[in-house]
């Protein structure tokens, strides 16, 4: 459960929520009360008067696992954690678990399974849910288990087990799996359905049924036969002990799913690699053939995955709270992404007024209590993060004395926490294999919540210290304790007996979970995605500063992966995830069942929008990759807020600077005198941040350097290239556009160069195949490049819905075209549109091909519309919105006609379409 981020203690409950090997002594807790780790230590006994994990009534709990799993660290903070953490004393089974596309809940009779396909809007319109609803229960005849335990798990699959003394049921379930694999003894396979099922296929041991409008296939061993009696379906297993159930995308998919029915998944594993500015990951399932020799399987990919894979996908899809899932027919798939950028701080800029910044810095270091009375891990962490952001800033303006005072404050506080026996310490729980800081807060002790949030600040601060004092960060000094915190929150080892692998990060979901017990009807949740990425950025900086490239690359993988998930699932960057009935452009919290425009502690719009921004650091630059989403986000905040931000204005100014630095700086100039900084912010940092980006431009995510600690900024036609070199010798950083930058040892360097002329560059790569046509006012498509920038007016939709059907469209044509079709190539376009300040508009495009010019268009392609924001400025509509419909086939053009139509699909207002420039082009799949 995410932590409140502001001093008020009021909690708003949602409608659905009722080693590192070789570390010596730290690798396993000693019998003594204090376990030494380098210069530091932690305790193996909780401080007097404190609590560890408990039920909701305060009764201590231990992991609910089988004997076979008892010696393994439990990965709490997962999508299935309620199997192992009995938060509610009267529920020894589980709360709903959201695997996607299937949902699950353990009960005494087996595993309830559902496939929610219709969202509901709850909480006064502030939350959408694809809530778990049972379609069927997978069990055994007579099974009545007193509990359900976790028997096995891997990166994104889990195996719960039921046993009542006479019967034993074991099922394997996971993210992306349309199958439930079951093994049972002591009874027949038994499927009970929510209502009498409709049978659409009966092949003896293979049965196709429809329940509540969802299609399922039941697979029993060869030679068995399914028997349907009302809402009960049974099959004898004979001498075998296995059967499986799959949710089908359609009844016609039965034959394909039958092929893999007995290829049982036994484990899941993600691997990753960082090289030259690119993060590649491979997701692999291990399988066992129960019958025959088939070892393949089917996997449903989330949007953040299929957007970045070139592996072939089938035509099968599923509905999920994360948008459409696409099915891969293989036991593995791979993704490739440009790495998210990280810097210790924004680079030096001459635009910063040194005297002014010096005054702001003195306000911080001269405060009577730079830690603002913080005592627990969360608020101490925020205070550490606040100071850490200012260390490189002070150095940039030559304030080495201030820099060293800041470093001294941070070292003192970290060492206090890293030493057992004082008022502040970390304590190891041998049952849960976790390290908890005391004083704890927001359930980090009793519920194992938020460790990645709290400890991210400690690791980040330690990374900044390591940048200036490598001896302090040595493993034999204080680095050992830093690594122990890392092992608790983001352990890359699957064989470490003291801590689980990646405790909170769900490698398949692509983001972290905050609740340690997952004990909610809506599944697990995460509120502050930005505090999760704060940990990943901290790993990049700590790994870079200490020479641990493996840890650095882990941080890069986590940050890059979660950055895309945040863009899609928190900010709905492509507007393809949130259901249209939700009515919001951002989510404060993501749940297993959906998302909510809310926080845990307030309904204040500023904090709903700001909670997924803080803390703003050099690890936040990935937010600049989705500028249109930022504009929509901030426009909604002001609508909901009744005007500009008041309480968290500094955070929201900084957020705006990722898309429009000049506008953000102007707001600072107008309002900096009369505001109180957010608790993790300072006027020194905000001033430096806004002034620097105003000078350099917004982050340009289209270009990456070949080390993780590099970034690019674009302002008009100029790019600024920046990189920090943590090593002891100079190195040359090469960027993906060919630019090189020599960076001296232990320093940041910058250089300028020619870049995009668009202040809001399209993060999608330009198409590389086919002929490119520019739009000209008057209705012409031309390959000429000497046009004059202009615009045409797109007529209003008049308040009607014209999705898919042209209505008073702008029409652009090229006639007499002769071209040869490029096999495998696809149509592409980039259209700049602007709705001005109009709300609720959506522009749509259709591309048509008349192959011979006879007036009959053999091929038409209609693309999903693009919802424009109510902020003046060009936005880019591309083919990445996806095909809505296509008819006919392409062939060679012989005197043919190419037509582009653009119209308003929805809304009640006009919009503009840019013409006469390479900012609006159509690229046809021909040569």
Active site residues: 450, 527, 531
Contact criterion met (CB below 8 Å) for 541 and 468: no
Distances in Å between the alpha carbon of 61 and those of 3, 55, 650?
A: 22, 6, 42
Pairwise CA distance, residues 108 & 95, whole Å: 13
The verdict on whether omega for the bond into residue 615 sits within 30 degrees of 0, i.e. cis, is: yes
Pairwise CA distance, residues 292 & 259, whole Å: 10
Pairwise CA distance, residues 572 & 614, whole Å: 18
Distances in Å between the alpha carbon of 891 and those of 147, 769, 813, 852, 858?
A: 62, 16, 18, 10, 9
Q: What is the torsion angle, in degrees rounded to the nearest 10, for the CA atoms of residue 799, residue 909, residue 652 and residue 610?
A: 10
Enter the DSSP assignment of 4.
P
Sign of the CA dihedral running 295, 301, 305, 311: positive
Question: For residue 177, how far is the Cα from the chain centroid?
Answer: 19
Pairwise CA distance, residues 603 & 4, whole Å: 12
Q: Which two tokens stand for residue 442?
A: 């927001």
Contacts of residue 653, defined as CB under 8 A and 6 or more positions apart, other chains included, come to 645, 664, 667, 668, 686, 690
Pairwise CA distance, residues 844 & 210, whole Å: 36
Long-range contacts of 198-206 (CB under 8 A, 24+ apart): 199/228, 200/251, 201/251, 201/254, 202/226, 205/235, 206/254, 206/258, 206/261
Sign of the CA dihedral running 401, 407, 410, 415: negative
Closest CA to 546 of 34, 38, 35: 38
Residue with tokens 């390959």: 783
CB neighbours of residue 7 within 10 Å: 9
Question: For residue 59, how far is the Cα from the chain centroid?
Answer: 34
Contact criterion met (CB below 8 Å) for 547 and 24: no
Characterize 331-350 residue by residue with b for buried, 16 or more Cβ atoms within 10 angstroms of its Cβ, and e for exposed. bbbbbebbbbbbbbbbbbbe
Contact criterion met (CB below 8 Å) for 337 and 308: yes
């Amino acid at each position: 459960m995410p932590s409140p981020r502001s001093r008020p203690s009021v909690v708003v409950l949602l409608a659905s929520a009722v080693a590192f090997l070789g570390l010596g002594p730290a690798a396993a807790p000693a019998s003594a009360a204090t376990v030494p780790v380098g210069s530091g230590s932690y305790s193996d006994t909780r401080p007097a008067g404190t609590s560890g994990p408990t039920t909701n009534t305060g009764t201590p709990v231990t992991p609910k696992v089988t004997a076979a799993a008892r010696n393994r660290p439990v990965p709490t903070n997962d999508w299935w954690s309620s199997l192992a953490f009995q938060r509610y004393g009267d529920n020894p089974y589980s709360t709903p678990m959201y695997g996607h596309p299937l949902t699950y809940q353990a009960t005494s009779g087996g595993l309830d399974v559902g496939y929610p396909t219709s969202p509901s809007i709850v909480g006064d319109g502030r939350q959408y849910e694809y809530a778990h609803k049972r379609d069927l229960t997978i069990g055994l005849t007579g099974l009545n288990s007193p509990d359900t335990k976790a028997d096995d798990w891997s990166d994104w699959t889990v195996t719960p087990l039921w046993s009542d003394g006479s019967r034993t049921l074991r099922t394997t379930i996971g993210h992306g799996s349309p199958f439930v694999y079951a093994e049972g003894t002591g009874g027949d396979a038994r499927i009970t359905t929510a209502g009498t099922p409709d049978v659409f296929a009966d092949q003896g041991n293979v049965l196709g049924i429809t329940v509540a409008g969802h299609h399922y296939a039941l697979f029993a061993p060869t030679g068995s036969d399914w028997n349907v009696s009302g809402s009960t379906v049974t099959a004898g297993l004979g001498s075998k002990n296995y059967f499986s159930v799959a949710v089908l995308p359609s009844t016609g998919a039965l034959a394909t799913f039958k092929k893999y029915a007995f290829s049982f998944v036994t484990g899941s594993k993600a691997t990753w690699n960082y090289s030259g500015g690119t993060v590649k990951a491979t997701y692999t399932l291990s399988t066992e053939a129960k019958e025959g020799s088939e070892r393949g399987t089917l996997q449903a990919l989330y949007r953040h995955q299929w957007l970045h894979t070139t592996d072939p996908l089938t035509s099968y899809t599923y509905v999920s709270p994360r948008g459409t899932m696409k099915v891969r027919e293989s036991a593995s798939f791979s993704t490739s992404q440009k790495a998210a950028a990280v810097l210790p701080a924004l680079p030096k800029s001459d635009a910063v007024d040194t005297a002014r910044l010096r005054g702001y810095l003195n306000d911080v270091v001269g405060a009577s209590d730079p830690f603002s009375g913080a005592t627990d891990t969360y608020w101490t962490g925020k205070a550490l993060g606040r100071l850490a952001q200012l260390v490189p800033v002070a150095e940039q303006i030559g304030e080495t004395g201030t820099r060293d005072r800041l470093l001294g404050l941070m070292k003192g506080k970290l060492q206090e926490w890293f030493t057992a026996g004082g008022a502040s310490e970390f304590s190891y729980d041998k049952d849960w294999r976790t390290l908890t800081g005391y004083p704890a807060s927001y359930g980090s002790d009793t519920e194992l919540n938020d460790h990645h949030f709290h400890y991210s600040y400690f690791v980040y601060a330690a990374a900044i210290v390591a940048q200036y004092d490598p001896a302090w960060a040595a493993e034999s000094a204080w680095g050992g304790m830093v690594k122990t915190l890392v092992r608790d929150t983001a352990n890359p080892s699957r064989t470490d007996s003291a801590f689980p692998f990646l405790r909170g990060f769900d490698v398949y979901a692509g983001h972290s979970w905050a609740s340690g017990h997952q004990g909610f009807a809506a599944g697990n949740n995460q509120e502050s995605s930005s505090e999760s990425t704060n940990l990943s950025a901290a790993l990049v900086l700590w790994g870079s500063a200490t020479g641990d490239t493996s840890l650095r690359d882990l941080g890069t993988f986590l940050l890059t992966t979660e950055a895309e998930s945040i863009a899609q699932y928190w900010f709905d960057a492509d507007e393809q995830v949130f259901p249209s009935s939700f009515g919001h452009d951002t989510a404060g919290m993501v749940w297993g069942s959906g998302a909510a425009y809310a926080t845990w502690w307030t309904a204040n719009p500023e904090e709903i929008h700001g909670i997924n921004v803080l803390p703003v650091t050099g690890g936040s630059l990935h937010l600049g990759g989705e500028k249109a989403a930022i504009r929509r986000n901030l426009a909604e905040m002001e609508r909901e807020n009744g005007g500009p931000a008041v309480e968290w204005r500094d955070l929201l100014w900084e957020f705006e600077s990722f898309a429009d630095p000049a506008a953000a700086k102007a707001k600072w100039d107008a309002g900096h005198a009369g505001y109180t900084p957010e608790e993790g912010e300072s006027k020194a940092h905000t001033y430096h941040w806004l002034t620097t980006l105003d000078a350099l431009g917004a982050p340009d995510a289209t270009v990456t350097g070949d080390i993780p600690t590099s970034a690019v900024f674009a302002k008009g036609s100029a790019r600024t290239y920046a990189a920090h070199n943590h090593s002891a010798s100079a190195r040359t950083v090469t960027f993906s556009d060919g630019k090189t930058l020599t960076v001296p040892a232990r320093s940041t360097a910058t250089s300028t160069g020619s870049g995009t002329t668009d202040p809001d560059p399209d993060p999608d790569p330009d198409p590389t195949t086919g002929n490119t046509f520019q739009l000209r006012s008057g209705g012409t498509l031309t390959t000429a490049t000497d046009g004059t920038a202009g615009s045409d007016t797109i007529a209003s939709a008049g308040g009607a819905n014209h999705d898919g059907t042209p209505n008073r469209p702008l029409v652009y044509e090229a006639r007499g075209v002769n071209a040869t079709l490029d096999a495998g190539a696809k149509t592409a376009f980039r259209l700049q549109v602007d709705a001005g300040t109009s709300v609720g508009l959506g522009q749509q495009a259709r591309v048509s091909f008349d192959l011979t010019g006879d007036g009959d268009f053999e091929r038409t392609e209609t693309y999903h519309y693009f919802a424009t924001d109510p902020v003046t400025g060009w936005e880019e509509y591309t083919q990445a919105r996806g095909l809505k419909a296509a008819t006919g086939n392409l062939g060679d053009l012989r005197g043919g006609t190419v037509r582009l139509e653009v119209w308003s699909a929805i809304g009640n207002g006009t919009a503009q379409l840019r013409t006469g420039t390479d900012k609006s082009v159509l690229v046809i799949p021909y040569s």
